[in-house]
Amino acid sequence: MELTDTHCHLDINKFDSDREAVISRALEAGLSRILIPGLTVSSSESAVKFTKKHSNIFAAVGIHPNEALTWKDITSDNLIQMTANKKVIAIGEIGLDCYWNRAPYHIQKEVFKKQLQLAAEQKLPVIIHMREAKDEIQGKCTEDLITILEDWIGGLRSEKNPLREHPGVLHSFSGSLNIALEAIELGFYIGVTGSATFQNALKRQKIVAALPIDRLLIETDAPFLTPHPHRGERNEPAYVHLIVEKIAQLHGQNMATVAEITTDNATQLFLW
């Protein structure tokens, strides 16, 4: 059974003591590919470095909305230079965050739009972060993000940019079913993380059950969002099978089918 982890922060310091062992356990668990997203210029550079050490690791480069204040005039050029590496297969993690408020909202939107334009120019899909204030299921952040994405997709379609067919993924989706369906209509995939396995996550599970499997991606977001029954521990990519197991249960499918479909989804989006 082939598995993929399309969102894993393997580069951060929580893995410093045993990173190679974590990667070995992932391979033993059947993972064929792992994608490390960037959060800043420096973390994007770290992600790219890991792609050179391991054939099964790929990178995305970008500025997280909580790091929007780090954007400088040269940042776009820095990110473009990194995309010259063929194992850089996406722009991300980018988007909007109303939960932490670590950067002014208007600056988040400016930086988000700049990176969407960069993605269009480089013809690389985007990995979208979206988190509402107080973790609400829908609000200003979600609505603004969808409006921005609608405008962006409209531009891709008018220019016949190949990215219009598979523009990206809404990472660790925590919004409403309506928003998920709107995103899918725009061509996006929906990222499912370990939070869907939490025993108290009945609303989120209901949404995952209502979405087509051929629009889902598997993400651990390790070392965060550790799936049940390991909740409270550090997360790692080897736990990806627990997310697959939950999706299979919610859709009345076997794990092998879900693994195959979601792996194919990742290949269609990232072309890796």
For the domain covering 3-270, report its CATH number.
3.20.20.140
Whether 30 contacts 258, CB under 8 Å: no
Give the H or E element holding residue 119.
helix 105-122
- At residue 196 the predicted structure's pLDDT band, cuts being 50, 70 and 90, is very high
- At residue 135 the predicted structure's pLDDT band, cuts being 50, 70 and 90, is confident
Q: CB-side exposure of 27: number of CA atoms within 13 Å?
A: 10
Query: Is pLDDT of 229 > 90?
Result: yes
pLDDT tens digit string along 19-53?
A: 999 999 999 999 999 999 999 999 999 999 999 99
Q: Which residues contact 4 (CB under 8 A, 6 or more apart)?
A: 31, 32, 33, 34, 35, 217, 218, 240, 262, 263, 266
**Three-state secondary-structure class, residue 16:** coil
pLDDT tens digit string along 168-187?
A: 999 999 999 999 999 999 99
Whether 10 contacts 234, CB under 8 Å: no
Largest CA distance in the chain: 50
Closest CA to 129 of 110, 143, 142: 142
Write down the domain spans for the chain.
3-270
